[in-house]
Amino acid sequence: AQSVTQLDSHVSVSEGTPVLLRCNYSSSYSPSLFWYVQHPNKGLQLLLKYTSAATLVKGINGFEAEFKKSETSFHLTKPSAHMSDAAEYFCVVSSYGGSQGNLIFGKGTKLSVKP
Amino acid sequence: DTAVSQTPKYLVTQMGNDKSIKCEQNLGHDTMYWYKQDSKKFLKIMFSYNNKELIINETVPNRFSPKSPDKAHLNLHINSLELGDSAVYFCASSQGMGSSSGNTIYFGEGSWLTVV
């Protein structure tokens, strides 16, 4: 079975400093992995995805994530935080077998950005 | 134009009522989904339809009934609403069975349902 664990429920950074949101996954198959962002009272927006191509994936708004199979990790990073990055971030793994197409969400990491 | 649109965005209703949430996608996708986000922000799939055929039906009370009149629409009807149904419901779509082939799943903006 597939699962995903976001190691921090809340991360707080100062504007202009780096962002690191941690995610570990478990999958019997070669997984597809995603990061989605949800701003307050808004829908889910795809930041980036990994689908067995390049292990370093670049997304929108300056975010990127690196797939590390040996560590079963897919951490999200950004060199310099902006106030508008404050939101909830979800690490997501795809499921296989009888639930193909099913996304399995992590519990989310709330990112706060201080001025 | 919004790719995946759902209405209403906000809905407050009394226990015992029946309500529907509508969803439409203009992306030409053949697969649509309903996800539920609870008060702790946890998201979980409820239903998945591919070419109007039910593919995934997770453990959801049978008070919840999805209806797909065509590939571009997947409506969610809820009978006899209960307090625990209060949540945010997200509609989504993808081409093919989305994530398993790496295809992106696109989400609507959510429908905030409050049962009082």
Percent of chain A exceeding pLDDT 90 equals 66
A43: nearest CA partner in chain B: B109
pLDDT-derived band of residue A96, with 50, 70 and 90 as boundaries?
low
Backbone angles phi, psi at B18, to 5 degrees: -110, 135
- Convert the pLDDT of each residue in A40-95 to its tens digit: 878 889 999 888 778 899 999 999 999 999 999 999 999 999 999 999 999 998 86
Which residues are B73's β-sheet partners?
Answer: B24, B70
- Ranking A57-61, B80-84, B97-101 by mean pLDDT, the lowest is B97-101
What's residue A103's pLDDT?
80
A32: nearest CA partner in chain B: B102
Distance between CA A29 and CA A96 in Å, rounded? Answer: 8
Q: Cβ contacts of residue B14 below 8 Å, gap of 6+?
A: B81, B115, B116
Helix (H, G, I), strand (E, B) or coil at A53: coil
Helix (H, G, I), strand (E, B) or coil at A17: coil
Backbone angles phi, psi at A97, to 5 degrees: 70, -135
CB contact (8 A) between residue A101 and residue B33:
yes
What's residue B102's pLDDT?
57
pLDDT-derived band of residue A98, with 50, 70 and 90 as boundaries?
very low
CB contact (8 A) between residue A43 and residue B43:
no
